[in-house]
Structure 1
Amino acid sequence: MYPITLNLKNKEVLIIGGGKIAARKVRGLLKEDAKVKIISPTLYSSISKESVEWLEKIYETGDIIGNESLIFACTDNNELNEQIRKDAHSSQMVNVVSNKKVSDFYNMSMIKYKGVNIGISTEGASPMIAKQTRVELEEWLKNK
């Protein structure tokens, strides 16, 4: 894995699935001014329809048009998530939330503190451990 941070301002990002995990991704992407498009028949209650482009439908092969810089396969169907990975263009980076082995990237738990960004990654193995480490490190930094 090669750690980087991305400037996603005005970059198109596609999320397939509209559940709780998708909502978490949307929140972070919108903070970075990404243009978020979601393909899902439903949206989790915390996702603002006004802040994203929502295609209210079930994903079908052909829905990935190639403009998206990043794609998140966030459905509760492992086979569909893997199909999304196969449907993506080779230049598109895909995160398959149900199978880290086929993902092109993982999200890091981030701390932004006094102009310093600290990323914590378990390379998809344990998001809860990354979150717990982030919380503990944030607390430690506050006391410095």
Structure 2
Amino acid sequence: MQSPYPIILNLADKNVAVIGGGKVASRKISKLIATGIKPTVISPILSTKIPRNQINWIKDKYQRKYVEEMDIIITCTDDSSVNDQVKNEATHFQLVNDTSDKNNSDFYNLATLKADDMFISVSTIGKSPSVAKKMKNEIKEWVSKRFHKEFE
């Protein structure tokens, strides 16, 4: 990604798809559900950690027809050919995040902290999610002590 531009998206009226049903997909799906949306998940199998009643599950392998109306598509497969296919087939109106390849993505997620009146995010621009997570935790500790905030 050459020109990152940080934003906060309101997903309330957006169609969001997650391709894959494993461990990485489970983490992404839980964060999407926490925003109040019901993502569409396309995968032949689902991790037991994914709550089936909070998603629209298409029990199948990726096919373009399943994501034609999606605004945001997150690929969470370990098959680079599928991830590449999703990115290549997306229209210029669709944003794609390939969780296995930041260079094959229109966006990537940030490490975030949320309180009732505060939203803090940290990014290493996809270079080191573990460093971003560590920074987030240190910021959380500092802000919690200094401003007496409880984060979700």
Which band: TM-score by shorter chain? over 0.9
Paired residues, number: 143
3-state DSSP of counterpart to 1:50? helix
Q: Percent identity?
A: 38
3-state DSSP of counterpart to 2:66? coil
The unaligned stretches of length 5 or more in structure 1 are: none
Query: Using the alignment, how far apart are the partners of 1:114 and 1:48 within structure 2?
Result: 25
Query: Using the alignment, how far apart are the partners of 2:94 and 2:107 within structure 1?
Result: 11
Correspondence list, 1:56-95, <5 A: 56-65=59-68, 67-95=69-97
3-state DSSP of counterpart to 1:125? coil
| 1:30 matches 2:45 | no
Partner in structure 1 of residue 20 of structure 2: 17
Cα RMSD for the two superposed structures: 1.3
CA contact (8 A) 1:64 1:87 kept: no
Query: Using the alignment, how far apart are the partners of 2:88 and 2:65 within structure 1?
Result: 11
3-state DSSP of counterpart to 1:117? strand
CA contact (8 A) 1:71 1:93 kept: yes
| 1:2 matches 2:5 | yes
Letter in 2 for 1:71: I
Partner in structure 2 of residue 46 of structure 1: 49
Q: 1:115 to 1:21 in 2, by over 3 A?
A: same
Shift of 1:28: 1.0
Partner in structure 1 of residue 125 of structure 2: 123
Q: Which string of whole-angstrom CA distances, capped at 9 and with x for unpartnered residues, describes residues 11-51 of structure 1?
A: 21000001111111111111112230000011111111110
Shift of 1:95: 0.2
The unaligned stretches of length 5 or more in structure 2 are: 147-152
What TM-score do you get using the length of structure 2 for normalisation?
0.88
Correspondence list, 1:94-113, <5 A: 94-113=96-115
Q: Which string of whole-angstrom CA distances, capped at 9 and with x for unpartnered residues, describes residues 52-83 of structure 1?
A: 00011111343322x21110011011121111
3-state DSSP of counterpart to 2:65? coil
Structure 1, 112-121 or 133-142: larger mean CA deviation: 112-121
Query: Using the alignment, how far apart are the partners of 2:15 and 2:99 within structure 1?
Result: 19
Query: Using the alignment, how far apart are the partners of 2:33 and 2:16 within structure 1?
Result: 10
Query: Using the alignment, how far apart are the partners of 2:131 and 2:13 within structure 1?
Result: 31
